[in-house]
Amino acid sequence: MINRLKTLLKGENVLTDEPLCKHTTFKTGGPCKALLMVQSADELAGVLKLLKDEGENFFILGNGSNLLVSDKGYDGYVIKLAGEFLELRLEGDVIVAGAGVLLSKVCTFARDNSLAGLEFAYGIPGTVGGAMVMNAGAYGGEMKDVTESVKLLHGDDTVTLSCDEMHFGYRDSVIKHDDYIALETRFKLQKGNPEDIAAAMADFMDRRRTKQPLEFPSAGSTFKRPEGAFAGKLIEDAGLKGLRVGGASVSVKHAGFVVNDQGGTAADVDELMKLIVKKVKESSGYELEPEVIRIGEFN
C-alpha cells in the first residue's frame, strides 16, 4: 500500500509512521500508518479511491486544532491538503481560499485588500476546510455569515454548494453528514477601511489573549455550547477550574478549555473530559457534548 501511495504521490509526500503529536494543537497522539501530503484535487481523488477500494481507514487533517489522537496512534492514513489547497486569490470582493489555508492567513489577506467581514475569525486556529466542516465561529460571527459557496469533492465528482446548501448550523454543516470533502471556499466580503479592519482584528486577538489560555497546548473550546447555557460557566460553577488528570487540567483562566500544561497524554485529556462531563451532569443536569473529535482507540 505504501508503495502504491508513493506512486500516486511524490515519495517525499508520504511520511510513514508519522507521529500525530507533531500535527495537533494538543501536542498529543501516536503515529498513523502514513501522513499523505496531497497536492491537488486529482491526487486527492486518486488517493481516496485507493484507500476506499482497499478498505483502509483515513482521516482528513486540517490544522489539528480540534482533534485528540489516541496515544496508540491511528490505524489508518491521515491526509493533509497541501499544494493547490494552500492558494489564495482575489476576485473583486470575493476571496477564494483553498481548504488547506489557515483562517488567520485569509483574515490578513482580507485586511491587506481592504475587505471587511472576517475579523471575528482572526484568532481561530484552524484551516478553511476545517472551518467549513464545523461552521467555525467566534465573537458573534460564523462562517455562514461570510461564505458565498464551497467547492467540494463528493465521491468521484466535484460539486459546488451555495451557503444555503451547506446547511450551516452550530458547529455543523452538510459535510458532517455526507461524503463531502471541502476543496475551496469563496468568501463574500465588503469593502472597508484597512485601519479599521486591523483594529478590529487586534481587538479580537487581545480579547483571546486576555481570556483564553493560549500559552498552553489545547484544542480551544473543549465542549459545545449547550442550549441555554455556556460550557465554561457550567464547568466553573461545578468547581472544576484547575481539576487535573495527569498532565492535563481544566484551565484556571477559562474553564471551557482543557489544557495540556504538564506534558500530558491523550489518555489524560480523554479521562479529564469524561470526568468533566460526569461532574457537570451531577451539578447542573446538563450533558456536555465534546467539540473535540477523537480518533484512534480510547478506553
CATH number of 214-295: 3.90.78.10
Q: How far is CA 257 from CA 94, 169, 225, in A?
A: 34, 22, 12
Mean of pLDDT over the chain: 97
CATH 3.90.78.10 residue spans of the chain: 214-295
Q: How confident is the model at residue 10 (pLDDT cuts 50, 70, 90)?
A: confident
CATH number of 87-210: 3.30.465.10
pLDDT at 80: 97
C-alpha–C-alpha distance, residues 115 and 282, integer Å: 47
pLDDT at 154: 94
291 is an active site residue: yes
**DSSP string of 157-209?**
EEEEEETGGGT-BTTB-GGGGTTEEEEEEEEE-EE--HHHHHHHHHHHHHHHH
Q: 151 forms bridges with which residues in the sheet?
A: 160, 184
pLDDT at 299: 87
CATH 3.30.465.10 residue spans of the chain: 87-210
pLDDT at 31: 98
Tallying the residues shown for the chain, one arrives at 299
Q: How confident is the model at residue 285 (pLDDT cuts 50, 70, 90)?
A: very high
Catalytic residue, candidates 70, 149, 173, 221: 221
Catalytic residue, candidates 148, 236, 271, 291: 291
294 is an active site residue: no
221 is an active site residue: yes
pLDDT tens for 139-158 read: 999 999 999 999 999 988 99
CATH 3.30.43.10 residue spans of the chain: 2-84
Catalytic residue, candidates 171, 186, 208, 225: 171
Domain 2-84 has CATH 3.30.470.20: no
pLDDT tens for 39-72 read: 999 999 999 999 999 999 999 999 999 999 999 9
At position 157, the amino acid (one-letter code) is D
